[in-house]
Amino acid sequence: MIRRLDIRTLLIMLAALIIGVTWAAFNLASTGGARNDATVRPLVWTVFATPAALFIGWMIARRQELGLAAFCCFCLYFFAFFVAQRIETLFFTLEEARASGHTFYFTAVLAIHALAGAALSLWRALTPASQGLV
Per-residue pLDDT of 49-74, as tens digits, reads 999 999 999 999 999 999 999 999 99
Q: In the chain, where does DSSP find H-type helix?
A: 7-30, 40-61, 66-91, 94-99, 103-126
The average pLDDT across 110-130 equals 94
pLDDT score recorded for residue 111: 98
Q: What is the pTM of this model?
A: 0.91
Residue 130 has pLDDT above 70, yes or no: no
Q: Is the pLDDT of residue 132 over 90?
A: no
Q: Is the pLDDT of residue 133 over 70?
A: no
Q: Report the alpha-carbon distance of residue 28 to residue 108 in Å, rounded.
A: 12
In 3D, which of 55, 71, 51, 69 has the Cα closest to residue 115?
51
Tell me the pLDDT band of 47, cut-offs 50, 70 and 90: very high
pLDDT in tens, 94-108: 999 999 999 999 999
- Report the pLDDT value the prediction gives residue 36, as an integer from 0 to 100: 93
